[in-house]
């Protein structure tokens, strides 16, 4: 691609960014991913004047190279968004993906280790900030994009106002008193004033998406839970509320939907899914109880019907 064409693409991509964030209502992370992919696809496709035949040929070659259906569908989604922006109507193929594996949900002990590691991140400022971040992810069930968008004005007496990164309605998340006190302590003593509005800041301004991801990666490694990531905390929050924690009754699914900011109840229902491991364990326990009960019945029956004075085997 020559410099002129590259300049035209970058100019158009900036127009696309503004459209996608406003009219398209895509999240910032989705827009950044789509822009990267459009740049990559521009090397093999005419993304300004595409033909149906060229598009189908591209996907056919990707399949022949062994590209996975999940990646193919992501390419399709980003192209569909780009063509929608340009006003181009194009039929794009959809690819059947294998069922997703059960999501990893941190166990109680892992959650404790992660929160502890976050609160021991070196200096007092980093420790205070990181502990608040991790607790907001676990107790609030929020996404990274929502976390970094929190402003000081969003802090309430018992919770925080959350702006969804996916075009969903704003919501208030309720938080434990201890967490709210930790947030206020972080603001008063450790928060950088590099951005007058943002809750989470660095020396240079509002904290970025990748900055938070790097923090979480280091915390997970320190806690001995290297696969920890923000969405695992969201899974944990949802399942804990839906199943009940510390002896409390499960929370109504509509309340969990509002807490997580899901537009559709069907999205929340995914967290009611029972894993294969849980099914196997529950069946094993019940069958074990059945055989134990059956053995007791047999012994009782033999005892009642044994002749008086008969020797027991």
59 and 172 part of one domain: no
**Does the annotation mark 231 as catalytic?**
yes
Same domain, 51 and 129: no
> What is the DSSP pairing of strand 201-202 with strand 159-162?
unpaired
Q: How many domains does the chain have?
A: 3
- Give yes or no for a contact between 263 and 168, defined as CB atoms under 8 angstroms apart: yes
Spot the catalytic one: 12, 39, 166, 222.
Answer: 166
Domain boundary residue, one of 86, 121, 154 = 86
Q: How far is CA 214 from the centre of its chain?
A: 16
Does some domain include residue 291? yes
* 166 is annotated as an active-site residue: yes
Is 95 inside a domain boundary?
A: no
My answer on whether 230 and 304 are in the same domain is: no
Residue 189 is a catalytic residue: no
Last residue of a domain, one of 86, 117, 134: 86
In a domain, 246, yes or no: yes
Q: Answer yes or no: do 121 and 168 share one domain.
A: yes
Active site residue 271: yes
Instruction: For residue 12, tell me if it sits in a domain.
Output: yes
- Give the range of the structural domain holding residue 132, as residue numbers without chain letter: 108-271
Do 36 and 131 sit in the same domain of this protein?
Answer: no
* Same domain for 248 and 160: yes
146 with 247, same domain: the answer is: yes
Which pLDDT value is given to residue 287?
A: 76
Residue 29 within any structural domain of the chain: yes
CA dihedral 127, 128, 133, 135 (to 10 degrees): 100
What's the pLDDT at 263?
78
| Tokens at 123, concatenated | 């200096």
- Read off the CATH number of the domain in which 29 is found: 1.10.150
Active-site pick, 37, 131, 234, 259: 234
Same domain membership, residue 247 and residue 147: yes
Inter-residue contact 152 to 199 (CB < 8 Å): yes
How do beta strands 201-202 and 171-174 pair? Answer: unpaired
Give the pLDDT of residue 312: 43
Per-residue 3-state assignment (H helix, E strand, C coil) for the chain: CCHHHHHHHHHHHHHHHHHHHHCCCCCHHHHHHHHHHHHHHCCCCCCCCCCHHHHHHHHHHHHHCCCCHHHHHHHHHHHHHHHHHHCCCCCCCCCCCCCCCCCCCCCHHHHHHHHHHHCCCCCHHHHHHHHHHHHHHHHHCCCHHHHHCCEHHHECCCEEEECCCCCCCCEEEECCHHHHHHHHHHHHHCCCCCCCCECCEECCEECCHHHHHHHHHHHHHHHCCCCCCHHHHHHHHHHHHHHCCCCCCCCCHHHHHHHHCCCCHHHHHHHHCCCHHHHHHHHHHHHHHHHHHHHHHHHHHHHHHCCCCCCCC
Q: Is residue 101 part of a domain?
A: no
98 belongs to a structural domain: no
Yes or no: say if 151 and 197 are a contact pair by the CB < 8 Å rule: yes
Find the catalytic residue in 25, 94, 231, 296: 231
We report the CATH number of the domain holding residue 235 as: 1.10.443.10
122 in a structural domain:
yes
From first to last of its 313 residues, the chain has per-residue pLDDT tens of: 555 556 789 999 999 999 999 988 888 888 999 999 999 999 999 999 999 999 999 999 999 999 999 999 999 999 999 999 999 999 999 999 887 677 788 999 999 999 999 999 889 999 999 999 999 999 999 999 999 999 999 999 999 999 877 666 789 999 999 999 999 999 999 999 999 999 999 999 999 999 999 999 999 999 999 999 999 999 999 888 888 775 678 888 888 888 888 877 877 777 776 555 666 776 777 777 766 666 665 666 666 665 655 444 4
Looking at the fold, whether 223 and 306 belong to one and the same domain comes out as no
Question: What's the confidence (pLDDT) of residue 302?
Answer: 66
Domain shared by 51 and 149, yes or no: no
- Same domain? For 178 and 117 the reply is yes
Residues β-bridged to residue 201: 206
261's tokens: 């900011």
215 and 121 co-located in one domain: yes
């Amino acid at each position: 691609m020559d410099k002129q064409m590259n300049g035209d693409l970058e100019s158009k991509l900036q127009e696309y960014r503004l459209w996608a964030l406003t009219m398209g209502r895509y999240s910032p992370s989705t827009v950044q991913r789509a822009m990267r992919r459009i740049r990559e696809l521009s090397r093999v496709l005419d993304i300004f004047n595409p033909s149906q035949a060229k598009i189908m040929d591209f996907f056919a070659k990707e399949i022949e190279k062994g590209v996975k259906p999940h990646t193919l569908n992501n390419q399709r989604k980003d192209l569909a968004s780009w063509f929608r922006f340009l006003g181009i109507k194009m039929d794009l193929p959809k690819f059947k993906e294998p069922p997703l594996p059960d999501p990893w949900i941190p166990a109680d002990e892992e959650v404790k280790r992660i929160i502890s590691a976050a609160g021991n991140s070196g200096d007092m400022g980093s420790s205070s900030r990181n502990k608040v971040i991790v607790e907001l992810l676990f107790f609030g069930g929020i996404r990274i994009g929502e976390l970094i968008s929190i402003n000081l004005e969003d802090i309430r007496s018992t919770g925080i106002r959350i702006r969804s990164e996916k075009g969903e309605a704003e919501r208030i998340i309720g938080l434990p008193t201890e967490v709210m006190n930790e947030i206020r302590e972080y603001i008063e003593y450790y928060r950088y004033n590099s951005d007058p509005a943002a809750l989470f800041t660095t020396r240079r301004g509002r904290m970025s998406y990748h900055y938070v991801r790097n923090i979480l990666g280091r915390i997970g490694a320190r806690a001995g839970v290297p696969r920890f990531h923000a969405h695992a905390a969201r899974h944990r929050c949802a399942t804990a509320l839906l199943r009940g924690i510390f002896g409390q009754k499960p929370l109504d699914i509509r309340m969990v939907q509002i807490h997580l900011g899901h537009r559709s109840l069907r999205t929340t229902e995914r967290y009611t899914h029972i894993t294969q491991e849980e099914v196997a364990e529950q069946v094993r326990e019940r069958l074990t109880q059945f055989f134990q009960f059956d053995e007791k019945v047999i012994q009782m029956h033999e005892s009642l019907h044994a002749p008086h004075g008969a020797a027991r085997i």
